[in-house]
Amino acid sequence: MHDPIAERAALPALVALDELGVAAHPASVLPGKGAQELARLRSAPVPLDRQRVSRVVLAAFFVGAGTLHFLKPDAYEAVVVPGLPYPREIVWISGAAEIVGGLGVLSRPARPWAGWWLIALLVAVFPSNVYMAISPEEIRGLSVPPVLLWLRLPLQAVLIAWVWRATTPARASGAHRRH
């Protein structure tokens, strides 16, 4: 029995399975037997590709952080290095840059570009992180222990490494994978 509503409802699951690396059989989008195949695929154990999971988490991190630039601009404006013109606009531009880069991580053609984009962004905002660590008393509304502000500095290198690893293709030699 052909049930177009059930088939449409199943398509997001098929797309999610495909993003996680499960090859979907073309019959899974066909009526009748295809719905059974899709149900089988949905209940089968899904082998997770760590790099794909890493990319999704990385994208969510940057899209979320970028969105906060627009929802809480005053908090971000407070950490713009003094002397830079147009702090509100810097916050908006950096927020938009994080969102664009985060979304780019999810697109195979844009991924290498997004990686370089996000690395450049992390380098560009590093002076604000240094400013926060050196002068926390000058930042209105900042209630983070100073030790965490100092620990954030090497965290930038960790973030850069994560971006690099998530946006460069895994080599056949297994250079990106731990055994």
CA-to-CA distance for 4 and 50, rounded, in angstroms?
Answer: 34
Q: Tokens standing for 47?
A: 């082998």
Tell me the DSSP string of 109-122.
TTHHHHHHHHHHHH
Please answer whether residues 104 and 114 qualify as being in contact, where contact means their C-beta atoms are separated by less than 8 angstroms.
yes
Please answer whether residues 146 and 129 qualify as being in contact, where contact means their C-beta atoms are separated by less than 8 angstroms.
no
Cβ burial of 114 (10 Å; 0-12, 13-18, 19+) is buried
The pLDDT of residue 129: 95
The pLDDT of residue 96: 98
Asked whether the whole model's pTM tops 0.85, one would answer: no
CA-to-CA distance for 99 and 62, rounded, in angstroms?
Answer: 6
Closest CA to 167 of 101, 99, 94, 96: 101
The pLDDT of residue 169: 83
Show pLDDT as tens, one digit a residue, over the chain (179 residues).
444 444 444 444 444 444 444 444 444 444 556 666 666 666 666 666 888 999 999 999 999 999 999 999 999 999 999 999 999 999 999 999 999 999 999 999 999 999 999 999 999 999 999 999 999 888 888 888 999 999 999 999 999 999 999 999 876 445 554 44
CA-to-CA distance for 157 and 77, rounded, in angstroms?
Answer: 23
The pLDDT of residue 144: 87
CA atoms within 13 A on the CB side of 165: 17
The pLDDT of residue 143: 85
CA-to-CA distance for 42 and 22, rounded, in angstroms?
Answer: 10
